[in-house]
Structure 1
Amino acid sequence: MSNLQGKTIVLGVSGGIAVYKAAALTSKLAQLGVKVRVIMTESAAKFVAPLTFQTLSRHPVFIDTFEEKDASVVSHIDLADSADLVVIAPATANVIAKLALGLGDDMLSTTLLATMAPIMVAPAMNVHMYGNAAVQLNMQTLRSRGVHFIEPGEGQLACGYVGKGRLAEPEEIVQEITRYFAQKKEWHGKRVLVTAGGTVERIDPVRYITNDSSGKMGYAIAEEAARLGANVTLISGPTALLVPQGVELVPVISTQDMFDAAMSELERADVVFKAAAVADYRPAVRAERKLKKKTETLTLELVKNPDILEEIGSRKTKQFVVGFAAETDRLDEYAMDKLKRKNCDLLVANDISQEGAGFGNDTNIVRVYGSDGLIESLPLQSKKEVARRLLAIVAERLPAVLAGRASEKGITNVKPIGTP
């Protein structure tokens, strides 16, 4: 049985020659047991008749916001609430812009504003339109909000140009949808512990030691894990970020605070992402009152803070541990050394001297390491996209790691973490 059986997918179809592929996509999804509820823009209906989608989906097609087919519900709200997933295919530059700007002037755009379901967008347009700075900025905005894009193909376009902009094939879109629901099933019910942000070590009531960490990477991981159905606890130093929906926040200030909170949560965690950039040292003495300027120099004695990742690595039993390293040089060497010393299952490292990969950015460039060396190198992309890929890598490697640990302890019939 398909893992799509019984799912409800709202398919948004916007105007373009690729609408015919959306008809094929509707057919394939329906054959897999999906309840496909189609919304067409008026432009889309000029390419393919709504009756085609109604016949293939066996459900009414929605076009006009004010044409209510069922008096007991408000159609665009009902559609938004019913969706397990919203897919826009083909997605024109216009629809992408509306979604980025939060406009709601037709059935599709108002439904998109109302839905809490994840959204997948499959763009289709002329190669120059796709490369336009405004379109790229709109797509980047949507990626930062967690919208997933299915990359268009390259080749001969209907306009006569050759390049990137052709709608992904229906089979490719189905594969992306299937992969999403499979990953959601893998993470459902798992307990995920994430540490994020920098920590603050007080010198006196008005001064402190910290670093430039914004917490964005850890928050992105927490948000994506929660979106996939995990039970997420986020231990965070001070940040200006909003707590992701469905995530339990444990606010902390100092490294010792974060250490205590992490040790308290560790036993019940299945997977740990130690993404926080904590202060390695703290003042030996914290002044109770503001220090006054009395001399030309001031000497502070610093003492070492507890090593949170090292302690997690030494205590872990069932936990799959992902460490992080921010470096400025010799990335591979330092990353592998840290992975082994801290007993991590994966180590995610970035060179913060690279443009787009430093603290505070919405993007990142990372390399992912396992005990066997470099696993994957992720190019410049949003931190939400990095988070999504990291969760996929963990899900792929988790069963083998669990089986290996069970074998070491002589345990048989081990189920993946979170399995009843």
Structure 2
Amino acid sequence: MESLAYTLEKNKLGNLKKKKRILVIVTGGIAVYKTLDLIRLLLKNEFSLDCILTESVKNFVSLITFESLLGKKVFSDLFASENSEKINHIELGQNADLIIVCPATANFISKMANGIADDLASTVLLATKSKIFVAPAMNTNMLTNIAIRDNLKTLKKRGVKILTTTFGKLACGTVGNGKLLEVEKIFEHIKDHFLSSNLLKGKNIVVTSGPSIENLDPVRFLSNFSSGRQGYEIAKAISNAGAKTTLITGPTSIDPPSNVKIVNVKTGEDFLNFSLKNLPADVFVSVAAISDWKILKYSNEKIKKKKNMNLKLVKNVDVLKTISFSNLRPKLIIGFSAESQNLEKNSLKKIKEKKCDWILANSVSNQKVFNSNTNKVLFIDNNKVYKWPRLKKSEIAERLVKKISEFFKTERIKFN
């Protein structure tokens, strides 16, 4: 007999499959044969599929093979007019819930990264706002070439999910990294994407991120080392989980996540005012590093150089505490704590003083956390402290999304 948990997940995925459309873009590499297996697996699990082939695919597998497998027309020519259903080819990408490029050759990855649109596949990708997966497959030397590495990094920064290649014997006869990820694992990524994309559906969540800037005069200011990276990853993960997401951000050099409302601010007062303006919300995530102090008196003119100078600072606004005590207090308030000493003790004190629900605490004693892709945090909930291992900031964001989802599930159970 199937376990209840397994049955529930199967039913949940089944409901998703009836609604979700996947566009499979196939480019011309030897791994194209494995894409046929992926299509079979997706069809077996009742996903709705469309398929675009690049011209070079025909050197490996005929167009008829794909059409026979799909039971419908596949597309390859940007200017074809023979489609009796009169489908706008660009709409294939615009209407897809997910696009996967499998296999993705070095050439096609480079076209994607550089915005080239010289065929149907590349044009569709430029015109879509759908989530994109890329499953590379190529020779090891090509994969490790700096141009390809840079292009993959560029795609990652734009929100494309790269399905990492595996090590093994390649078509050219050599052994190394570059094999297409196993079809079953690609399917797991697709399944997980659709399951997680509904975790926070219907929720309205506000995230603050980045540093504040407190001006001294027209050219000088008081600020900190915050890169905003963790907050941006959290906003992206929350948006990917289906929530309406607002990101209130101080100045950063990071590209903003897609499908997120961006509010650019500078001062602590700005952070507070726009945070209040975006209430009511279900969740408030306070990641921004807002200065504890601000300059008492701003000078409209550049202050001339003197031998010594005394700056008068006053206490800045407390955004987290103000939101926690607001009449429009969100159901869940999450704060961040950066400490150079007594991390756990000071963070437990902060969660009580600010009256927030959770705190993620990290040490800044060695400054390695700033502008880094990884972090190590304590997760504090109801005075219980959980030590998370060192993780990528994107992985911390994904963990937090699951925690938020679990919180609202528990809330529903309470009131049912």
Pick the TM interval, shorter chain.
0.7 to 0.9
Give the direction of change, closer, same or farther, for the CA distance of 1:4–1:336 in structure 2 (3 Å limit): farther
Pick from 358, 362, 365 the counterpart of residue 370 of structure 2.
358
The one-letter code of the counterpart of 1:167 is L
Match of 1:383 in 2: none
Match of 2:316 in 1: 305
Pick from 278, 283, 286 the counterpart of residue 274 of structure 1.
286
Q: Is the 8 A contact 2:347 2:361 kept in 1?
A: no
Instruction: Report the Cα offset of residue 270 of structure 1.
Output: 2.5
* Alpha-carbon distance between aligned partners in 1 of 2:54 and 2:345, rounded to the nearest angstrom: 52
* Alpha-carbon distance between aligned partners in 2 of 1:307 and 1:85, rounded to the nearest angstrom: 41
**Helix, strand or coil at the partner of 1:369:** strand
* Alpha-carbon distance between aligned partners in 2 of 1:323 and 1:259, rounded to the nearest angstrom: 16
1:155-201 CA-to-partner distances (Å, cap 9, x unmatched) read: 22222222221111121111111111111111222111111232222
Match of 2:71 in 1: 58
Instruction: Report the Cα offset of residue 412 of structure 1.
Output: 5.0
Match of 1:382 in 2: none
Instruction: Report the Cα offset of residue 123 of structure 1.
Output: 0.8
Instruction: Report the Cα offset of residue 142 of structure 1.
Output: 0.4
Instruction: Report the Cα offset of residue 354 of structure 1.
Output: 6.8
1:80-111 CA-to-partner distances (Å, cap 9, x unmatched) read: 22211100111111111110011112221121
* Alpha-carbon distance between aligned partners in 2 of 1:322 and 1:35, rounded to the nearest angstrom: 41
**Helix, strand or coil at the partner of 2:76:** coil
Is residue 159 of structure 2 the alignment partner of residue 166 of structure 1?
no
1:34-61 CA-to-partner distances (Å, cap 9, x unmatched) read: 1111111222222222222212222211
* Alpha-carbon distance between aligned partners in 2 of 1:271 and 1:202, rounded to the nearest angstrom: 30
Match of 2:18 in 1: 5
Instruction: Report the Cα offset of residue 228 of structure 1.
Output: 3.9
The one-letter code of the counterpart of 2:266 is I
* Alpha-carbon distance between aligned partners in 2 of 1:301 and 1:180, rounded to the nearest angstrom: 51
* Alpha-carbon distance between aligned partners in 2 of 1:324 and 1:184, rounded to the nearest angstrom: 28
Q: Is the 8 A contact 1:191 1:230 kept in 2?
A: yes
* Alpha-carbon distance between aligned partners in 1 of 2:262 and 2:325, rounded to the nearest angstrom: 25
TM-score, normalised on structure 1? 0.82
Q: Out of 108-117 and 137-146, give the one that drifted further.
A: 108-117
Give the direction of change, closer, same or farther, for the CA distance of 1:365–1:107 in structure 2 (3 Å limit): same
Pick from 84, 101, 123 the counterpart of residue 110 of structure 1.
123
1:201-260 CA-to-partner distances (Å, cap 9, x unmatched) read: 233455432234454543454344334431122223345777655433444432133234
Q: Out of 69-78 and 126-135, give the one that drifted further.
A: 69-78
The one-letter code of the counterpart of 1:367 is K
* Alpha-carbon distance between aligned partners in 2 of 1:20 and 1:339, rounded to the nearest angstrom: 55
* Alpha-carbon distance between aligned partners in 2 of 1:164 and 1:31, rounded to the nearest angstrom: 30
* Alpha-carbon distance between aligned partners in 2 of 1:317 and 1:109, rounded to the nearest angstrom: 42
* Alpha-carbon distance between aligned partners in 1 of 2:59 and 2:364, rounded to the nearest angstrom: 50
Q: Out of 144-153 and 365-374, give the one that drifted further.
A: 365-374
Match of 1:338 in 2: 347
Pick from 259, 265, 268 the counterpart of residue 272 of structure 2.
259
Instruction: Report the Cα offset of residue 318 of structure 1.
Output: 2.3
Q: Is the 8 A contact 1:194 1:235 kept in 2?
A: yes
* Alpha-carbon distance between aligned partners in 2 of 1:339 and 1:32, rounded to the nearest angstrom: 47
Q: For the aligned residues, what is the CA RMSD?
A: 3.1
Give the direction of change, closer, same or farther, for the CA distance of 1:162–1:324 in structure 2 (3 Å limit): farther
Give the direction of change, closer, same or farther, for the CA distance of 1:75–1:82 in structure 2 (3 Å limit): same
Give the direction of change, closer, same or farther, for the CA distance of 1:26–1:291 in structure 2 (3 Å limit): closer
Match of 1:18 in 2: 31
Give the direction of change, closer, same or farther, for the CA distance of 1:299–1:340 in structure 2 (3 Å limit): closer
Give the direction of change, closer, same or farther, for the CA distance of 1:242–1:282 in structure 2 (3 Å limit): same
**Helix, strand or coil at the partner of 2:38:** helix
**Helix, strand or coil at the partner of 2:275:** helix
Q: Say how many residue pairs are matched.
A: 393
* Alpha-carbon distance between aligned partners in 1 of 2:26 and 2:269, rounded to the nearest angstrom: 52
* Alpha-carbon distance between aligned partners in 2 of 1:348 and 1:155, rounded to the nearest angstrom: 41
Q: Is the 8 A contact 1:263 1:312 kept in 2?
A: yes
Match of 2:6 in 1: none
Give the direction of change, closer, same or farther, for the CA distance of 1:399–1:99 in structure 2 (3 Å limit): closer
* Alpha-carbon distance between aligned partners in 2 of 1:155 and 1:243, rounded to the nearest angstrom: 37
Q: Is the 8 A contact 1:5 1:32 kept in 2?
A: no
> For residues 59-74 of structure 1, what are the structure 2 equivalents within 5 Å?
59-70=72-83, 73=86
The one-letter code of the counterpart of 2:317 is P
Pick from 388, 400, 414 the counterpart of residue 394 of structure 1.
400
**Helix, strand or coil at the partner of 2:65:** helix
* Alpha-carbon distance between aligned partners in 1 of 2:172 and 2:405, rounded to the nearest angstrom: 47
* Alpha-carbon distance between aligned partners in 2 of 1:391 and 1:414, rounded to the nearest angstrom: 28
Q: Is the 8 A contact 2:332 2:357 kept in 1?
A: no
Match of 1:86 in 2: 99
* Alpha-carbon distance between aligned partners in 1 of 2:366 and 2:265, rounded to the nearest angstrom: 28
* Alpha-carbon distance between aligned partners in 2 of 1:138 and 1:159, rounded to the nearest angstrom: 23
Pick from 351, 366, 378 the counterpart of residue 369 of structure 1.
378
Instruction: Report the Cα offset of residue 136 of structure 1.
Output: 0.8
* Alpha-carbon distance between aligned partners in 1 of 2:337 and 2:87, rounded to the nearest angstrom: 47
- Unpaired runs of 5+ residues, structure 1, are 380-385, 416-420
* Alpha-carbon distance between aligned partners in 1 of 2:290 and 2:186, rounded to the nearest angstrom: 41
Match of 1:283 in 2: 295
* Alpha-carbon distance between aligned partners in 1 of 2:93 and 2:172, rounded to the nearest angstrom: 34
* Alpha-carbon distance between aligned partners in 1 of 2:415 and 2:102, rounded to the nearest angstrom: 41
Match of 1:293 in 2: 304
